[in-house]
Structure 1
Amino acid sequence: MPYLRPVPADQSAPHPGDDIGRGAGTRPVPGHDPRLQWVVSLAVVAVGVLTIRPVGLSGRGLAVAALVVVNSAALLARRLPEHKVPPRLALIWLTLGVVAAAALIGLSSSGTGYLFAFILAGHIGYRLDTRQALVLAGFCSLLCGAVLYLRLGPGHEVLPWVFGLTAGAPVLIGIANRSQRQAVRAAIDAAESAERAARAEARTAVLTERGRIARDVHDVLAHSLAGINMQLELADALIDTGDLEKVREAHAKAHGLVKESLKQAQWTVHALREDALPLRETLASMLASSGHRDALTVTGAVRELPADVVRCLLRIAQEALTNAARHAPGGAVSVELAFTPASTVLGIRNRPATRPVLPGEGSGMGLIGMRERVAQLGGTLTAGLATEGPHRGDWQVEAVIPQ
């Protein structure tokens, strides 16, 4: 396709008769350059005015002058946009133009009047649908041929009046140009649709990325700051009792949580920068920093996972370990990473609390964030108390990511 120009989504597609390609830096539709159309129309009118005779103020000369004006108007009306001229009115106008052109051929003493019929026939193919255009062009040919035949007489040479039968031939060029124009408009419409779809996709990607960043910020700030706040509140409460040893212990835990928060912030930065973290090593480091060494079990054939899967599993582990520390302090924690042929499974389990649970409120977004992460990868997540088996009473979280 020689003409493909994407049109911004906030602009409407051009109408069929508009001057497509008039803007700077664009190329016109082949065969329908508006400037060339104007030049041809004005040239035919000028040639007709200068050569068609007789022209006068009475009798035959007046009739010829009136027909020149009518033919010129019919020819110049080609530049009217299609959406401003109803199809029925266009058919009437072109039919009258054909009749006027044939009448001019019959009354004038110059063959120049034939140009009006010839050019108008080409526009018939461009302006009307194919069936109407062929019928009207055939009528134009028969009418022009008949006028020449009657004017010259049966004893004259055959060539001139047969030449009149070719007056409607340009309709084929007009039909070809109309088909090409429609193909160009279809290409423009397709480009507009593609651009709108690309914009919608880009907006969806931005919103998805915002959601991911929001979850990462929640994981780092909400959990870490909540834990630090609880330890500092405990320290404030213990100051009144005078138990400095417990105050130091609470202060030390708060200090440890600050260090852990910094480490989690580093993980978040890695994730946002699309840096791939080693899954097993990072899980082991997370468990060790939370006081649960050697709590990781890996089963199955270990394989390389996509970066988005690694980030998802690490965030789920981080969420589950933080929740275990908050709601089940002192309880044993175990993490199992299983590689199966069909999926990757991460399970985190914690025993009930062995120490008093400090009051505190979470954001309520932890489980929601985990489910959203897994759903984006087409996986499933379950979380709740085990009601049977050897781990009955344990809180467990299991994420299954398909291969």
Structure 2
Amino acid sequence: MYPESHRSPPARIVAVGLMGSAWVFILVLQIARGDQVFPASLGIVALALWILQVALTRRASRTFVWLAWVMIVLGAFAGPATSVIGAIPAISGMLVLTRDSQIPIKRGTAGLCLGILGLALGALGDKADVVSSIGCLAGLLLVFLFGLLRRQSDAVEAAERASLEDRLAAAQERARSAAVEERTAIARDLHDVLAHSLGGLTIQLDALSAELESGKYEAAIARSVQARTLASSGLEEARRAVAALREPMADLDHGIESNIKAHRDMGGSVTVDLEPTQDLSSQANGVFSRGLQEFLTNARRYAPGETAHVRLARDDAHYRLSVSTPRTLRVQTSTGGGFGLQGVRERAEAIGGRLTIDDGNPFVATVEVPHD
């Protein structure tokens, strides 16, 4: 079955009807003069079929193709004896068979063979004109080749449109992925900035409340000063994050120093064992700084009062930053856990590193990144 398509537009139906009617009138005059009655009659039939095909059938339908074949045979037969006028529907039928990409090319080839056969039979008539016969043959061949070229051109245009649609779809997908990545990065940075500072502030305020209830007013005053300092520090860090994270990350030593100072200011205890870093990229620097921040926050939360051990070492391929603490409280520690560790993992994996958790005693969190 041939695929269904729309009927011919009204303007084309009217144009074909007017032209066909004019040529039918010319052929009727030939018949009235008794000149080439049989070929002229076949030409009229072919013209009538052409009008019928355009007006009543759907393009590329089975009826459409069969009418085109009959038009080609009858028109080719009538052409040599009617000064090519009878061959006009044959040429039209040949064009639509080869031009329309919905019609298999073998149908157009079959139409060309039928046209040559009808033309040969028409050329054998007593009053067939040699020049008209050659003109009809040339017309069929030229229209056949022209139809093939247009079909190929349509195929190229369709392929280009499909390629353009694919590129647009790929660009939209890249934009969507970039937006998702950007939202993920913003979520990580908000967590890094707000969760840690607000979490530390909560601890300070809880301690302040306990000291006030115990009547330790001097300690409470000192604790309130620490809470205010922590709030100011968090506000300043938030401002830096809102600045779109465009400024380069500070050097690793400064990042480790600031994180350790913040940990101690909030009552934590920590020891440090660092190897020199010389070829650490800014991305790796950011991973280590955020990783250390997250690890020390977890140490304060899940092992309060215990000493955290920070160690930075390297081998031939990687730098490794690890924080170990005695396990004093059972918590969820799967690698798909909270947003903090998840953010550290995403940062590390983005530059070819990884995050590992040893859920033993001591509890050890390690982030490693490749070095140049």
1:136-175, Cα deviation, whole Å (9 max, x unpaired): 112112212321331526xxx6444344333420112111
Which of the numbers 344, 347, 351 marks the counterpart of 2:322?
347
Partner of 1:257: 230
Question: Does residue 145 in structure 1 map to residue 120 in structure 2?
Answer: yes
Q: Pairwise mapping of residues 65-84 of structure 1 onto structure 2 (< 5 A)?
A: 65=44, 67-74=46-53, 76=54, 82=59
TM-aligned CA deviation for residue 95 of structure 1:
0.8
1:4-47, Cα deviation, whole Å (9 max, x unpaired): xxxxxxxxxxx99789xxxxxxxxxxxxxx9x989996785476
1:285-336, Cα deviation, whole Å (9 max, x unpaired): 3323433899362335x125154x4333322121112223333445444444
- Going from structure 1 to structure 2, the CA distance change for 1:252 and 1:41 (only over 3 Å counts) comes to same
TM-aligned CA deviation for residue 245 of structure 1:
1.9
> Unaligned 5+ residue runs, structure 1?
1-14, 20-33, 358-362, 388-392
Question: Does residue 276 in structure 1 map to residue 255 in structure 2?
Answer: no
Partner of 1:101: 75
Partner of 1:397: 365
1:113-134, Cα deviation, whole Å (9 max, x unpaired): 3233223322221233222311
How far apart, CA to CA, are the structure 2 residues paired with 1:378 and 1:89? 64
Q: Pairwise mapping of residues 1-400 of structure 1 onto structure 2 (< 5 A)?
A: 45=20, 48=23, 51-54=26-29, 65=44, 67-74=46-53, 76=54, 82=59, 85-86=60-61, 88-102=62-76, 104-105=78-79, 109-127=82-100, 128-152=103-127, 158-169=130-141, 170-269=143-242, 272-280=244-252, 281-291=254-264, 295=272, 297-299=274-276, 302-307=278-283, 309-350=284-325, 364-384=338-358, 393=362, 395-400=363-368
Q: Secondary structure at the match of 1:181?
A: helix
TM-score (norm 2): 0.76
How far apart, CA to CA, are the structure 1 residues paired with 2:22 and 2:312? 90
1:43-88, Cα deviation, whole Å (9 max, x unpaired): 854763564442789x9588765543333344x469x775xx43x3
- Going from structure 1 to structure 2, the CA distance change for 1:366 and 1:327 (only over 3 Å counts) comes to same
TM-aligned CA deviation for residue 376 of structure 1:
3.6
How far apart, CA to CA, are the structure 2 residues paired with 1:69 and 1:135? 22
Question: What is the letter of the counterpart of residue 47 of structure 2?
Answer: V
Question: What is the letter of the counterpart of residue 276 of structure 1?
Answer: P
- Going from structure 1 to structure 2, the CA distance change for 1:103 and 1:229 (only over 3 Å counts) comes to same
1:95-124, Cα deviation, whole Å (9 max, x unpaired): 122134235537x74432323322332222
- Going from structure 1 to structure 2, the CA distance change for 1:306 and 1:148 (only over 3 Å counts) comes to farther
Q: Secondary structure at the match of 1:276?
A: coil
- Going from structure 1 to structure 2, the CA distance change for 1:111 and 1:384 (only over 3 Å counts) comes to closer
How far apart, CA to CA, are the structure 2 residues paired with 1:200 and 1:297? 43
How far apart, CA to CA, are the structure 2 residues paired with 1:62 and 1:258? 102
Question: What is the letter of the counterpart of residue 235 of structure 1?
Answer: L
How far apart, CA to CA, are the structure 1 residues paired with 2:308 and 2:270? 9
CA RMSD of aligned residues (A): 3.9
How far apart, CA to CA, are the structure 2 residues paired with 1:376 and 1:119? 63
TM-aligned CA deviation for residue 193 of structure 1:
1.9
TM-aligned CA deviation for residue 186 of structure 1:
1.5
How far apart, CA to CA, are the structure 2 residues paired with 1:222 and 1:324? 14
How far apart, CA to CA, are the structure 2 residues paired with 1:62 and 1:386? 101
Partner of 2:332: none
| Contact kept? 2:294, 2:340, Cα under 8 Å | yes
Partner of 1:360: none
| Contact kept? 1:141, 1:164, Cα under 8 Å | no
> Unaligned 5+ residue runs, structure 2?
330-336
How far apart, CA to CA, are the structure 1 residues paired with 2:65 and 2:205? 88
- Going from structure 1 to structure 2, the CA distance change for 1:56 and 1:131 (only over 3 Å counts) comes to closer
TM-aligned CA deviation for residue 352 of structure 1:
7.4
| Contact kept? 2:46, 2:89, Cα under 8 Å | no
Higher relative contact order (CA 8 A, sep 6+): 1
Q: Which has the higher helix share?
A: 2
Question: What is the letter of the counterpart of residue 201 of structure 2?
Answer: I
- Going from structure 1 to structure 2, the CA distance change for 1:42 and 1:51 (only over 3 Å counts) comes to same
How far apart, CA to CA, are the structure 2 residues paired with 1:65 and 1:162? 21
TM-score (norm 1): 0.71
How far apart, CA to CA, are the structure 2 residues paired with 1:264 and 1:398? 24
Identity of aligned residues (%): 22
Q: Secondary structure at the match of 1:54?
A: helix
Q: Secondary structure at the match of 1:400?
A: strand
Question: What is the letter of the counterpart of residue 396 of structure 1?
Answer: V
Question: What is the letter of the counterpart of residue 402 of structure 1?
Answer: P
How far apart, CA to CA, are the structure 2 residues paired with 1:378 and 1:39? 70
